[in-house]
Amino acid sequence: MRSLIRLTAALSALPMTMASVALFALMVLTFADVIMRSVFNAPIEAATELIRIGIALIVFSALPVLSGREGHIAADLLDRPFENWGLQRWRDGLVTLGCGVMLWFPAGRVVDLAYRALSYGDVTEYLEIPTFYIGMFIAVMTYLTAVVLILRGLLRLFAPQLLDPAT
């Protein structure tokens, strides 16, 4: 089991690398667009749609990895009562499991919308990139995030020692 966890940790480098490359490309594109707009009065016309696609790549590439590492922002308003009762593990496990289950519905909805875009032949305005690909990428990464959250919730509930990085 530990080797599987190590393998998934190693595989998490791929989506984070993709997000990093997309972020760097967005920085270069924004810089070039500002220079072209300010100096030559010739903005990059496709910059807006490329930025939209890049932001989707960044967010949805990082989502499963952040979920797996418990990297989300959390409010600790009720931590003290759960600590006093010794129920932190159950709270964390059930919340993580619930979030994974709830995330399944939006992922299915995005698949429907992506197939609708495919049937309509929707493309982006300037570069004519089919929006189906972007929608399916979002759906796949959302499903992957749901699976990661469900597995992490089950591990938190039934095998918390596997999630402890010290062991």
- DSSP, residue by residue, 17-81: HHHHHHHHHHHHHHHHHHHHHHHSS---TTHHHHHHHHHHHHHHHHHHHHHHTT-S----TTHHH
Q: Residue 44 is inside which H or E element, if any?
A: none
Query: Is a pLDDT exceeding 90 seen at residue 118?
Result: yes
How far separated are the first and last CA of the chain, in Å rounded?
13
The answer, yes or no, to whether residue 20 has pLDDT greater than 60, is yes
What is the C-alpha to C-alpha distance for residues 127 and 129, in angstroms, rounded to an integer? 6
Q: Tell me what pLDDT residue 28 has.
A: 97
Does pLDDT of 122 surpass 70?
A: yes
pLDDT at 121: 96
Contacts of 30 (CB under 8 A, 6+ apart): 47, 51
Yes or no: say if 133 and 65 are a contact pair by the CB < 8 Å rule.
Answer: no
Q: Mean pLDDT in the chain?
A: 91
Residue 54 has pLDDT above 60, yes or no: yes
CA gap 163, 161 in Å, rounded: 5
Residue 64 in tokens: 């499963």
Question: Is 88's pLDDT higher than 90?
Answer: no
69: confidence class by pLDDT, cuts 50, 70, 90? confident
68 Cβ neighbours under 8 A, 6+ residues apart: 8, 12, 148, 152
Please indicate, yes or no, whether the overall pTM of this predicted structure exceeds 0.85.
yes
